[in-house]
Amino acid sequence: MTSPVLSDPEKTGIDRIEDPLLNKGTAFTPEERQKYRLLGLLPPHIDSLEEQVVRAYDAFSAEETDLDKHIFLRELQDENETLFYRLLLEHVAEMMPIVYTPIVGKACEEFSHIYRRARGVFVSYPDRELMDDILSHVDREIDVIVVTDGERILGLGDQGAGGMGIPIGKLSLYSLCGGIHPARTLPMLLDLGTNNAERIDDPRYIGWRHERIKGAEYDNFIEQFVEAVMKRFPNVLLQWEDFASVDAERILKKYRDRLCTFNDDIQGTAAVTSGTILAAIQSAGGKLADQRFVMLGAGSAGVGITGQLVGSIVASGKSEAEARDMFYVIDRNGLLHDGRTDLDEVLMPLAQKQANLAGWDCDTKGSISFADVVRNAKPTVLVGATGQQGAFTEAIIREMASHTERPVIFPLSNPTSHAEAIPADLLKWTDGKARIATGSPFDPVEYNGKTHVISQCNNSYIFPAMGLGILAAKANRVTDGMFTAAAEALKECSPALADPTAPLLPPLSKIRDCARHIGIAVARQAQQDGVAQTTVAEELEKRIDQTMWTPQY
């Protein structure tokens, strides 16, 4: 796919070199140097893109810390986007953790100190009446927006304006993994203040120094934002990212039928986790209908994963009530059950019936602990989405492993320092039997003479492919069925289906192939759900391939 931006004849001289979407640096040809008035502005040697990648990789490797490497890549992105993405594409396994999780968390915390150059759009609360004017400053058409309000960045909490690192990183993965042209993407930060005293007290903090706006004022601001986006970019895909759980579900419910939108923390995390769990179960010879699930964490991720899996179980033939009985969801106050009076409308559907707890060897009237649930429910699948380091203790994991031959254990919290457990411990505590996927990257683990490659259950397997499928199909809405199709397609990409000893997810070097497969499934489902124009299969695949951009001059 070639963007019309790249044929812009208007920018010449230093203006062309300073535009990262147009700049080729030392790769401008002699003819281009004449045409665009670049003679003398560049050294005389002419590089190929391949030679530039080698030079850039040498410079990347010379950086001493991961944060310095992140800064280097961000500066390269701001100088030459084609080179940036080609470098990432050739070193995807090494560089994706630097561009996004886990290093992006540290970059968000340090955002005000490492800020170099404008990228994306900041809309601050004091400028709320100028939203239309602000968006008019974006002088190109946009296909995908990723937006955050910075309140719940990964497992790090409120980072205020520093949260902009997340949309920038997410959209980098849209282009890297899904082939969405970077010229058609826009990161956005809604700056409604911050309750992080460390940020406000920092003399370098670049955001609005004010406590967070909440309540009716917050809701009105979000409404103004959505209306401004729909006016300026009526066909855009809008992804909500890292909003507080109390706002995320509500915002998604309010706007999902008004424009093409989804929440990656709820739906993307749910799809990648569900697809990976399905692969783990099938590769071990099990059946989905026979599983018992414990979800530790009832925030956006936990709610989304549970809902997605319930949908998959219903699709396999069980009733919704039967499917929900298979789940034990735990928040900070213990197991969700219908005897509790503190559950809101989001959590109540996830509550276990107290009648199902009859015979448990604990008090089932009040608070039921994580350990009590594992001991009595005897789960086959355990998922952590708490942000609490070490929440999966040795005693609990050994208890789980005593009741199931192939325990499926997913500590999903990130960054790495917030993981519920580390894979080496999980393998030790289960005698090497656990099927593991994590939210952050971990090195392979040697246990009893066998190397276990730990798959990162990363949303990058899903959201770029969702964007690819949505844009190729020209979908005008995002349905639950499209995420179910994405999860099923991800399962089909699992190496473990052919070899039970293989990793649950394909290597990052294959992520573009995986994105294409998932994108086709998403696009077909969009057509089946009536939110996209129907085409023959060959035409749909042709559109997918036309949408996928490859970084080359």
> 450-452 and 445-447 as β-strands: parallel, antiparallel, unpaired?
antiparallel
Distance CA 30, CA 428 (A): 61
Sign of the torsion angle spanned by Cα atoms 35, 37, 43, 44: positive
- Would you say 241 is a known binding-site residue? yes
What is the largest distance, in Å, between two alpha-carbon atoms of the chain?
83
From the centroid of its chain, how far is CA 355? 37
DSSP state of 19: -
The structure tokens listed for 257 are: 């039928």
Q: Which among 106, 170, 174, 255 is annotated as catalytic?
A: 170
The structure tokens listed for 447 are: 């246990």
Place of tokens 């559950």: 343
Nearest CA to 544 out of 178, 235, 186 is that of: 178
Angle, helix 92-99 to helix 81-90, in steps of 10 degrees: 120
- Would you say 458 is a known binding-site residue? yes
Q: Which among 24, 69, 85, 100 is annotated as catalytic?
A: 100
Place of tokens 């213990």: 334
Nearest CA to 416 out of 99, 102, 110 is that of: 102
Place of tokens 């993405």: 85
The answer for residues whose C-beta is within 8 angstroms of residue 23's C-beta and 6 or more apart is 16, 17, 79, 80, 81
Place of tokens 């026979």: 290
Active site residue 170: yes
77-98-464 Cα angle (round to 5): 70
SS (H, E, C) 337-361: ECCCCCCCCCCHHHCECHHHHCCCC
Active site residue 100: yes
* Residue 186, phi then psi, degrees to nearest 5: -145, 115
Say if CB 49 and CB 82 are below 8 A apart: yes
* Residues annotated in a binding site for (S)-malate: 152, 414, 458
* Residues annotated in a binding site: 152, 241-242, 265, 414, 458
Active site residues: 100, 170
* Residues annotated in a binding site for a divalent metal cation: 241-242, 265
